[in-house]
């Protein structure tokens, strides 16, 4: 407890600075979320004050004057009941439309986003930039550029949360979730895990460094030289012998992967699915569940042979195969 | 005024002179084997009070720990066990049974003019199930605890946690059957055991609320039971139901869990709303404003509550369309709650209002529930929920509803019916002081948490960044005030059982069949079953001095 | 029970908290219906999970279904339907005031059929599953195609049939009590509620099996 007192005293001068009521708003969507938040706060204050003052007024005006006194019977006017049913309904409709349109708009990343890959594991964030550099519990991004984050978990459910950007999404094992943001100011911001994930959940935190584009370029170039994620993925591609079948020369054993990402494909059980991160992952781990109808289900499973990081690199490679030429060119 | 009620009043006998349900038989056995709904209500009262203080102790320790950013008392592992214990005990072993199992058990037969519930043996069995479940939970807590949070999310709970998950889940599973059987008993009792003339629209609103609650007990609880069963099997046998690496889906657990646990929120608040309807009318001596609206809003809340569970999962990556549907439904459930608040407030209009302790709790309930309900809108709204989900905002919001709402109403109800239950009065001044302390302590504890949440502090953090310290210290200070506020009633209630002045059958001058019998009531409640000829809350209009 | 309650003469089995035997009968019946609603939700959680996983892993579940032997499932279905009939006949016998020997005969026949169901389940199905290593987490060495999915299917198979079997055992317990009560002349043409509401329960357990059988044994177009 002494420690508490001590730190309490130490922090006194800082109290004013620390008594902030608004988190930094540092992304393109933050202000729009704050406006809605402000509106909701206004509604909450309005109705709370309204109810509280009516109660206080009635309490004083109609207080019992003698012990035997009773209240006066009032009838229930239908109009009044309807009014206070309909007005809250209308407010709710407005709020729903407002918040949902924001949500839908904020949910879709712009096409030009740079993509960063995240793996959550007990109890750290592991991040990798497409250019290759890896980071632990730190994320460096340039200001003013939309960034898409593709995330998965190696163990339990985590949640990637950057309060200053007003973004948050659960990070689940066995599938990929995505968020995006566009930082609007440089600075250092909190990164939290917001889904309880075990003993050191509260230490699964980090910092997001938003840098000017030139600083970012310097930072990117400054680290130790690594291959890009797609190159790493390509190496894995040949290491696991994927190319033996999945290349144009392999004479129809398996579909060519060039340009397959983002295209709708019909699988053998008749459903049409867009080839996304989840589908690629499934195709590698449980190939028979999604093989294409024109091919024999002969691909072996790679369950247990590829870790989450390698999986992301393979996905980055497949995504980089924009066209047939690039594959042929190799 | 009905002749039957007048007659009953003539037959009143002072509690001291006559036989009543408390003194009709003596000995531990007469209590442990009792089939009297009132005694069973008291058995529950004792056991949930114990659980409340166990859960409360965990809360106090957590708040003490959080006065320092690095954590003042425990290792993170211990802190995690604290909040898990707090959540599990408070939700499953205090809030869910609180009003239904104590006040509901005690009052339903009295209020509808019946001798007992429909199935007294089943009622006793429900208590034993509850006790068994609670014993498992306490055993797990004492033998090392559980660290999954009360939500038991897999795969953490199924594959990674090294604590007593199965024991606790089993405890909750067993206690769930207690809820189911209590709900079943209440539904049948309310349908079949009403006194002659007690039509549905003459029922006190507390009964409507208990009926709606019972529906949720019966429809929701089996789902959580089966969910926890699957979780236990997964944990023991590693069969992979919630393990994505072999094709399981951890989100399925969340869907099933919230299918029960969101309605469970209304299991906690609906009975509170029922209690408040009774208190407001009794202390304004006036009919409730908009009886039918208040009654049907209970039912509509119960029904809508089953289709809003997805708002707990907005950030899990459910599809945008699912998000939109759950969002609009969640807004929808706000409306019947708003209707209730307006009707309670309007009931005060032209009332004859007195401010004994139960009324203070009732008014506190309306205010705090209003804030709790309105802050729910932030979480029904998709765009703000993304930011606030999983932060202290959530913690503040549901404590305003659960503690500011349900517990306030429970305390109010306990103070209101205490003279009926024990036949004795408690010191009203102390009760008012305690009510004020609880109100202040509560707000000081939980209001800063709204701000913390908006600032981005995630919940369930044993260690937190130092800029959140000031608000955390405020919250902890509030918690210690709140703790004192809860201890005072414990003391004067125990005192009043022995030394309190006799209450008489109707100390508040309230309406309702329970006030027409002696305090404490006879074993079978009424000497003759009353015949009801008037609406609920039929207070004489002004001028007619009693 | 209590000397306060002086309701005069009432038929056998009358509980003091009720006004009359009619109210008691209504309450008992409603209670059982509410209980069955709870039961539906209870099995419902399991059925929902099963349906979702079946949709996710259709081929594995078909493969899993092929591990079961339809003829035993079908036999058991017939046995259960027959037991529902004998149960109904027992109630009918009580209702029409037949001799207690006749009621007991139908009840015991129901019990025999119920026991036969469990016997077949244990001996020819679960025991065989055990010897063939088809019990996930306990005795599992299936390594045919779709192993993880088949494992999940077998999980649900055991959970669902196991839960159902527990309900059967409870039902047999109820029937035993009913036989004893009948033998002690507790029932008459006026009062036979315990028989009636136990009958409701028995039929419900039967209906659950009617759903389980096609869901577990017949999916995947084998028949």
Q: What is the DSSP track for B219-282?
A: HHHHHHHHHHHHHHHHHHH---TT-GGGT--HHHHHHHHHHHHHHHHHHHHHHHHHHHHHHHHH
In a domain, B349, yes or no: yes
Q: In A, what residues contact C, Cβ < 8 A?
A: 269, 288-289
**pLDDT score, position A19:** 56
Q: How far is A49 from chain B (nearest CA, A)?
A: 9
Q: How far is B498 from chain C (nearest CA, A)?
A: 27
Angle at B420 between CA B418 and CA B421, to 5 degrees: 65
Place of tokens 């930082």: A183
Q: How far is C63 from chain A (nearest CA, A)?
A: 13
The answer to whether the Cβ–Cβ distance between B353 and A81 falls below 8 Å is no
The answer to whether the Cβ–Cβ distance between C137 and B241 falls below 8 Å is no
Angle at A184 between CA A182 and CA A186, to 5 degrees: 115
Provide the number of CB pairs (under 8 Å) joining chain A to chain B: 301
* CB nearest C31 (choices: B188, B221, B247): B188
Most A CBs within 10 Å, among C59, C145, C150, to test the A interface: C59
**pLDDT score, position A243:** 81
Most B CBs within 10 Å, among A31, A71, A188, to test the B interface: A71
Most A CBs within 10 Å, among B458, B475, B509, B540, to test the A interface: B458
Most B CBs within 10 Å, among C45, C57, C134, C139, to test the B interface: C45
Range of the domain at B429: 3-516
What is residue B392's three-state secondary structure?
helix
Q: How far is A114 from chain C (nearest CA, A)?
A: 32
The answer to whether the Cβ–Cβ distance between A104 and B320 falls below 8 Å is yes
The answer to whether the Cβ–Cβ distance between A196 and B149 falls below 8 Å is yes
Q: How far is A134 from chain C (nearest CA, A)?
A: 34
Q: Phi and psi of B204, rounded to 5°?
A: -60, 150
Q: Which residues of A touch B155 (CB under 8 A)?
A: 155-157, 173
How far apart (Å, rounded) are the C-alpha atoms in residues C197 and B439?
Answer: 49
* CB nearest B184 (choices: C2, C38, C48): C38
Q: How far is C34 from chain B (nearest CA, A)?
A: 6
* CB nearest B120 (choices: C17, C37, C38): C17
**pLDDT score, position A251:** 66
Fold of A229-329: Cytochrome Bc1 Complex; Chain D, domain 2 (1.10.760)
Residue A113's nearest CA partner among A151, A141, A145, A161 is A145
* CB nearest C30 (choices: B120, B192, B240): B192
3-state SS string for chain A: CHHHHHHHHHHHHHHHHHCCCCCCCCECCHHHHHHHHHHHHHHHHHHHHHHHHHHHHHHHHCECCCCCCCCCCCCCCHHHHHHHHHHHHHHHHHHHHHHHHHHHHHHCCCCCCEEEEEEEECCEEEEECCCCCEEECEEEEECCCCEEEEEEECCCCEEEEEHHHCEEEEECECCCEEEEECECCCEEEEEEECCCCCCCHHHCCEEEEEECHHHHHHHHHHCCCCCCHHHHHHHHHHHCCHHHCCCHHHCCCCCCCCCCCCCEEECCCCCEEECCHHHHHHHHHCHHHCCCCCCCCCCCCCCCCCCHHHHHHHHHHHHHCCCHHHHHHC
Element containing residue C179 per DSSP (H, E): helix C147-183
Q: Which residues of B touch C15 (CB under 8 A)?
A: 120
Residue C149 near residue C63 (C-beta atoms within 8 A): yes
* CB nearest B252 (choices: C30, C52, C136): C52
CA dihedral B513, B205, B207, C30 (to 10 degrees): 120
**Which residues, 6+ apart, have CB-to-CB distance to A5 below 8 Å?**
none
Q: Phi and psi of B115, rounded to 5°?
A: -80, -30
**pLDDT score, position C5:** 42
The answer to whether the Cβ–Cβ distance between A73 and B541 falls below 8 Å is yes
Fold of A114-222: Immunoglobulin-like (2.60.40)
Most B CBs within 10 Å, among C38, C44, C194, to test the B interface: C38
Residue B119's nearest CA partner among C102, A227, C18 is C18
pLDDT band at residue C222 under the 50/70/90 scheme: low
Q: Which residues of B touch A205 (CB under 8 A)?
A: 465
Enumerate the domain spans of chain A.
114-222, 229-329
Q: Which residues of B touch C39 (CB under 8 A)?
A: 222
| CATH code: domain of residue B41 | 1.20.210.10
In C, minimum Cα distance to B185 occurs at C31
pLDDT of C42 strictly over 80: yes
Residue B279's nearest CA partner among B51, B499, B429, B435 is B435
pLDDT of C145 strictly over 90: no
**pLDDT score, position B329:** 94
Low-confidence ranges of chain A (pLDDT < 70): 1-20, 248, 250-252, 269, 323-330
Element containing residue C139 per DSSP (H, E): strand C139-140
Low-confidence ranges of chain B (pLDDT < 50): 1-16, 544-546
The answer to whether the Cβ–Cβ distance between B367 and A52 falls below 8 Å is yes
Residue B163 in contact with partner chain A when CB distance is under 8 A:
no
Most A CBs within 10 Å, among B382, B393, B457, to test the A interface: B382
Tokens of A135: 């980071």
**pLDDT score, position A252:** 67
Q: Which residues of C touch A288 (CB under 8 A)?
A: 59, 146
**Contact partners of C by the rule of 3+ C-beta pairs under 8 A?**
A, B
Q: Which residues of C touch A289 (CB under 8 A)?
A: 57, 59
In a domain, B447, yes or no: yes
In C, minimum Cα distance to B253 occurs at C49
The answer to whether the Cβ–Cβ distance between B541 and A70 falls below 8 Å is yes
Task: Supply the ipTM of this predicted assembly.
Answer: 0.91
Q: How far is C158 from chain B (nearest CA, A)?
A: 11
pLDDT of C97 strictly over 90: no
Q: Which CATH class is domain C22-217?
A: mainly alpha
**pLDDT score, position B14:** 44
Q: Which residues of A touch C220 (CB under 8 A)?
A: none
Question: What domain count does chain B have?
Answer: 1
Q: What are the helix (H) ranges across B305-381?
A: 320-348, 357-380
The answer to whether the Cβ–Cβ distance between B377 and A190 falls below 8 Å is no
Residue B159 in contact with partner chain C when CB distance is under 8 A:
no
Instruction: Give the total residue count for chain B.
Output: 546
Q: Which residues of A touch C58 (CB under 8 A)?
A: 269
Place of tokens 């869910």: B96
Tokens of A15: 């109290």
How far apart (Å, rounded) are the C-alpha atoms in residues C45 and C52?
Answer: 11
- Report B:115-154 residues touching C (Cβ under 8 A): 115-120
Residue B193 near residue C22 (C-beta atoms within 8 A): no
Q: How far is B472 from chain A (nearest CA, A)?
A: 11
Q: How far is B316 from chain A (nearest CA, A)?
A: 5
């Amino acid at each position: 407890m002494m420690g508490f007192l001590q730190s309490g005293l130490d922090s006194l001068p800082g109290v004013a600075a620390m008594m902030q009521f608004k988190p930094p708003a540092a992304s393109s969507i933050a202000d729009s979320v704050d406006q809605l938040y402000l509106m909701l706060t206004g509604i909450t204050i309005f109705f709370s004050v309204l109810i509280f003052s009516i109660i206080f007024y009635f309490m004083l005006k109609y207080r019992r004057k003698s012990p035997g006194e009773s209240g006066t019977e009032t009838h229930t006017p239908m109009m009044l009941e309807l009014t206070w049913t309909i007005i809250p309904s209308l407010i709710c409709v407005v709020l729903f439309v407002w918040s949902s349109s924001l949500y839908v708009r904020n949910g879709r990343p712009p096409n030009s986003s740079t993509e960063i890959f995240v793996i959550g594991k007990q109890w750290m964030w592991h991040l990798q930039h497409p250019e290759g550099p890896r980071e632990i519990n730190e994320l460096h991004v340039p200001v003013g550029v939309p960034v898409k984050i593709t995330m998965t978990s190696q163990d339990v459910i985590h949640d990637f949360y950057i309060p200053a950007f007003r973004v948050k999404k659960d990070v689940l094992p066995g599938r990929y979730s995505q968020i995006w943001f566009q930082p609007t100011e440089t600075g250092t911001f909190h990164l939290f895990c917001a889904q309880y994930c075990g003993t050191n959940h509260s230490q699964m935190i980090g910092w997001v460094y938003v840098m000017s584009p030139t600083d970012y370029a310097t930072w990117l170039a400054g680290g130790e030289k690594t291959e890009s994620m797609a190159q790493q993925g390509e190496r894995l591609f040949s290491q696991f012998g994927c190319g033996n079948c999945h290349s144009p020369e392999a004479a129809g054993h398996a579909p060519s992967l060039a340009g397959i990402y983002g295209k709708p494909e019909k699988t053998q059980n008749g459903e049409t699915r867009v080839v996304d991160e989840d589908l690629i992952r499934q195709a590698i781990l449980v190939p028979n569940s999604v093989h294409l109808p024109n091919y024999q289900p002969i691909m072996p499973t790679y369950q247990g042979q590829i870790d989450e990081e390698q999986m992301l690199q393979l996905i980055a490679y497949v995504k980089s195969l924009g066209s047939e030429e690039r594959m042929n060119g190799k | 005024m009905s002749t039957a009620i007048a007659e009953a009043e003539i037959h009143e006998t002072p509690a001291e002179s006559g036989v009543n349900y408390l003194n009709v038989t003596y000995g531990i056995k007469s209590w442990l084997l009792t089939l009297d709904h009132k005694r069973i209500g008291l058995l529950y009262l004792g056991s949930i009070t114990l659980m409340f203080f166990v859960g409360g102790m965990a809360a106090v320790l957590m708040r003490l720990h959080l006065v320092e950013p690095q954590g003042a008392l425990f290792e993170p592992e211990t802190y995690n066990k604290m909040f898990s214990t707090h959540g599990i005990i408070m939700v499953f072993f205090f809030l869910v049974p609180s009003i239904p199992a104590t006040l509901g058990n005690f009052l339903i037969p009295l209020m509808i003019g019946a001798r007992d519930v429909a199935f007294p043996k089943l009622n006793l069995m429900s208590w034993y199930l509850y006790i068994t479940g609670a014993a498992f939970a306490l055993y797990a807590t004492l033998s090392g605890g559980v660290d999954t949070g009360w939500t038991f999310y897999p795969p953490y709970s199924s594959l990674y946690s090294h604590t007593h998950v199965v024991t606790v889940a089993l405890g909750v599973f067993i206690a769930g059957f207690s809820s189911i059987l209590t709900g079943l008993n209440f539904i049948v009792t309310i349908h079949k055991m009403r006194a002659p003339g007690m039509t549905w629209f003459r029922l006190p609103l507390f009964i409507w609320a208990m009926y709606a609650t019972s529906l949720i007990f019966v429809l929701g609880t089996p789902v959580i039971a089966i969910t926890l069963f699957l979780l236990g099997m997964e944990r023991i046998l590693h069969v992979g139901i919630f393990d994505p690496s072999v094709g399981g889906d951890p989100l399925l657990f969340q869907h099933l869990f919230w299918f029960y646990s969101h309605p469970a929120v209304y299991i906690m608040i609906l009975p509170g709303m029922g209690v408040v309807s009774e208190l407001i009318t009794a202390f304004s001596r006036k009919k409730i404003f908009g009886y039918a609206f208040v009654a049907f809003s209970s039912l509509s809340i119960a029904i809508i509550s089953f289709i809003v569970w997805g708002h707990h999962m907005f950030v899990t990556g459910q599809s945008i369309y699912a998000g939109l549907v759950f969002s609009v439904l969640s807004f929808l459930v706000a409306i019947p709650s708003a209707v209730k608040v307006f009707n309670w407030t309007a009931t005060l209009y032209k009332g004859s209002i007195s401010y004994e302790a139960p009324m203070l709790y009732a008014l506190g309930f309306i205010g705090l529930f209003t804030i709790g309900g309105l802050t729910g809108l932030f979480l029904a709204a998709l765009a703000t929920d993304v930011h606030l989900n999983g932060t202290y905002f959530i913690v503040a919001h549901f404590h305003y509803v659960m503690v500011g709402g349900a517990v306030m109403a429970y305390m109010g109800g306990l103070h209101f019916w205490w003279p009926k239950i024990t036949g004795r009065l408690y010191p009203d001044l102390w009760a008012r002081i305690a009510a004020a302390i609880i109100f202040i302590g509560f707000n000081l504890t939980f209001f800063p948490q709204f701000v913390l949440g908006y600032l981005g502090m995630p919940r369930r953090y044993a260690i937190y960044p130092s800029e959140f310290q000031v608000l955390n210290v405020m919250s902890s200070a509030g918690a210690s005030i709140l703790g004192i506020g809860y201890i005072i009633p414990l003391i004067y209630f125990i005192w009043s059982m022995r030394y309190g002045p006799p209450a008489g059958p109707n100390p508040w001058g309230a309406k309702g069949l329970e006030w027409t019998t002696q305090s404490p009531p006879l074993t079978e409640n009424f000497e003759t079953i009353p015949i009801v000829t008037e609406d609920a809350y039929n207070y004489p209009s002004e001028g007619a001095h009693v | 029970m209590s000397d306060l309650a002086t309701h005069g003469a009432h038929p056998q089995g009358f509980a003091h908290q009720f006004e009359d035997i009619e109210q008691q009968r209504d309450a008992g019946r409603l209670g059982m219906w509410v209980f069955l609603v709870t039961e539906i939700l209870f099995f419902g959680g399991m059925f929902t999970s099963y349906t979702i996983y079946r949709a996710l892993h259709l081929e594995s579940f078909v493969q899993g279904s092929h591990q079961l032997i339809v003829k035993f499932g079908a036999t058991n279905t017939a046995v259960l339907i027959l037991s529902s009939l004998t149960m109904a006949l027992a109630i009918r016998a009580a209702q029409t005031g037949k001799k207690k020997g006749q009621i007991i005969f139908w009840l015991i026949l129901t019990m025999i059929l119920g026991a036969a169901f469990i016997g077949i389940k244990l001996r020819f199905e679960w025991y065989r599953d055990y010897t063939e290593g088809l019990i996930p987490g306990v005795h599992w060495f299936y390594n045919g195609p779709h192993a993880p999915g088949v494992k999940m299917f077998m999980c649900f198979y055991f959970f669902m049939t196991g839960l159902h079997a527990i309900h059967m055992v409870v039902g047999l317990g109820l029937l035993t009590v009913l036989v004893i009560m009948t033998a002690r002349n507790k029932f008459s043409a006026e009062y036979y509620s315990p028989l009636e509401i136990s009958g409701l329960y028995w039929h419900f357990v039967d209906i659950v099996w009617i759903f389980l059988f096609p869901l577990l044994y017949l999916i995947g177009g084998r028949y």
